Structure 1
Amino acid sequence: MGTVNACVKRGYITVASLIAILSGLLLAITLFSHGHFHEDEEIERVLPGLQVMYATSIITILLVTTGLYGICKRKKWMLICYIVGMTLCCMLLSVLDLQGVAARPKLVEDIRVHYSGLLHFSNASKEDLEGIGEIQTELQCCGISQGYQDWGYNISESCLCVEGAVHPCVAAPRNSSLFENTKTDEPIMIYKEPCIIYLAMYALFALDVLLGIILGTILLWVLSVVLCGVTLCQMNRKEDTPAVVYSPEAKAGNYSVLIDDAEVT
């Protein structure tokens, strides 16, 4: 069995340890998220994603443990299991990443369809209206698709522009509910743009961040597979050992004196 280069071995151990730490963090985040959504009504919607996170983190930890033990104990079959397992995981993540890229154009349309039933807010429940109000306050927008016109006469107070607002504002119509209890002629400023623009923007940003994390994970896993493959190749390499040749001339005591005893004294 050949000798493994020290730099390659340390590099593999470092990368594999980093993968193990990240996988442990992913498992902790998954457990926390599962506990957070455990009694929530949306648990059925997020459960498939949690299952994928569970499987990814646990399988990765097991593979990294196998690879680290294999390189420390010089077990070739463990390194082979690590290479095969991590390669399959990289292929799976690559497919998920490509699906995420392909889903970017459809994401905006899905958001629009999701809120299309709330246009003009005539059939929206109290919970939906409260949720929309929170969105308007946080994103500094008004309405979903058509701006303040979605509210009709009863424009929500969450549409009111705050001091130092980042997004553009416009004067509210005089025949709206905002002027019922006011006697001033000064205009009341509300947010101009609908929330669908910012909802789509933040959703795309979150998706891009997720895809970037997946891509970085794939590159880190590929690096560990390459280092593990180099390590395995070095272990399979045969070391050159000098051949032992017997010579009948090599007799014990067959030496010649270089100096005389008289010269020494």
Structure 2
Amino acid sequence: MVSANSLLKALFIFFNQLFVVVGGVIFSLGLLCHVFTNEAEFEERKMGIFYLYLVGALTIIIALLGAYGAHKEKKSMLIVFFVGMCLACSVMLRFAVPSAIIRPQMEEAVESYFRSLVPLDRTPPSTRHMAELLQAQFKCCGIFNGYKDWQRIPQSCVCQDDEFENCDSVSLTPYETLFSQRVTMVYTQSCGPMLVNYVVKIFDIWLGICFGLAALALLGVVMSSLLLVQMKPPKFRRPMIFSLSSHPPKYSELINESSKSDGGHGW
């Protein structure tokens, strides 16, 4: 078998080492999600966690097969790697291309979804809890209309004693508040714009990851193809046959016989 180019082999092995790292990161993300997900939320997230485990493990296995196949020049392992990279590239593009198509409408769709949650008091308890955590963390209130997005304003909308920026004094009826004060300072900044910007950024990161992994998989397809071509044996050549016989050639025998018949005399 013809030896593959040593530089290409080294680059290919380094490429697969990067893929092992990527697979390890994906598998670790699945493990972290599994550890920090409580039992109530695990049923909703178990399929996503399972896919993280699966993708991470398959990436590591295929990368190790490719590296070992290149090192030992095993065509069968390189073919498995080639097929795996083709499938990975197709799957990534299957998710990335439709996501890129809907990207221009993404911000409007997210904003429309958040507006549908108003009034926040009527959302599920988990959504209300998340909204209050965001309000306390980012010092904002409501989605797009401030405290008016609540029928009864929660304590997380109330400004602290030492906070005066982005706060406004409002007079509340007993039916508009969950606390004892009737005139209080609440955050005037809405949480909606920050939430929309946050979701859009996550979506852009997702797009970048999909296209990046698709490009890496395509690079793996090209490199494994080059290695397989270099490992292809040369075309069969018909060997040249040299006679080692001690007998003189036929034309020499004819000349000798002709000389004898003439009595050994020349013309």
Once the two structures are superposed, what CA deviation does each residue of 1:75-128 show, in whole Å capped at 9, x if it has no partner? 112211211111111110111122333454357535643663441x44357665
Tell me: CA distance 1:234–1:43, structure 2 relative to 1, closer, same or farther (3 Å). Answer: same
Give the SS at the match of 2:122: coil
Taking structure 1 as the reference length, the TM-score comes to 0.74
Once the two structures are superposed, what CA deviation does each residue of 1:213-238 show, in whole Å capped at 9, x if it has no partner? 22222222222221111111111152
Trace 1:12-31 onto structure 2 (pairs within 5 A). Answer: 12-31=12-31
Per-residue deviation at 1:3? 2.5
| Equivalent in the alignment of 2:260 | none
| Equivalent in the alignment of 1:252 | none
Q: Which has the larger radius of gyration?
A: 2
Trace 1:103-114 onto structure 2 (pairs within 5 A). Answer: 103-104=102-103, 105-106=105-106, 109=109, 112-113=112-113
Taking structure 2 as the reference length, the TM-score comes to 0.73
- Contact preservation (8 Å) 1:26, 1:53: yes
- Contact preservation (8 Å) 1:170, 1:192: yes
- Between the aligned partners of 1:126 and 1:24, the Cα distance in structure 2 is 36
Trace 1:234-245 onto structure 2 (pairs within 5 A). Answer: 234-236=230-232, 238=234
Q: Which has the higher contact order (CA 8 A, sep 6+)?
A: 1
- Contact preservation (8 Å) 2:159, 2:167: no
- Contact preservation (8 Å) 1:161, 1:169: no
Amino acid at match of 2:100: V
| Equivalent in the alignment of 1:51 | 50
Amino acid at match of 1:215: F
Once the two structures are superposed, what CA deviation does each residue of 1:184-214 show, in whole Å capped at 9, x if it has no partner? xxx94x4333222211110111121122122
Establish whether residue 75 from structure 1 lines up as the match of residue 67 from structure 2.
Answer: no
**Number of matched pairs:** 238
Among all aligned residue pairs of Structure 1 and Structure 2, give the percentage whose two residues are the same amino acid.
24
Once the two structures are superposed, what CA deviation does each residue of 1:23-48 show, in whole Å capped at 9, x if it has no partner? 02221221231232252x22232222
Establish whether residue 85 from structure 1 lines up as the match of residue 84 from structure 2.
Answer: yes
Once the two structures are superposed, what CA deviation does each residue of 1:125-159 show, in whole Å capped at 9, x if it has no partner? 76654432211122332112321212356464434
- Contact preservation (8 Å) 1:97, 1:211: yes
- Contact preservation (8 Å) 1:3, 1:235: yes
User: 167, 171, 177: which is aligned to 2:168?
Assistant: 171
- Between the aligned partners of 2:162 and 2:209, the Cα distance in structure 1 is 36
Tell me: CA distance 1:171–1:15, structure 2 relative to 1, closer, same or farther (3 Å). Answer: same
Give the SS at the match of 2:231: helix
- Contact preservation (8 Å) 1:97, 1:214: yes
Cα RMSD (Å):
3.5
| Equivalent in the alignment of 1:3 | 3
Give the SS at the match of 2:140: coil
- Contact preservation (8 Å) 1:90, 1:221: yes
Give the SS at the match of 1:171: strand
- Between the aligned partners of 2:108 and 2:49, the Cα distance in structure 1 is 23
- Between the aligned partners of 1:153 and 1:37, the Cα distance in structure 2 is 30
| Equivalent in the alignment of 1:150 | 149
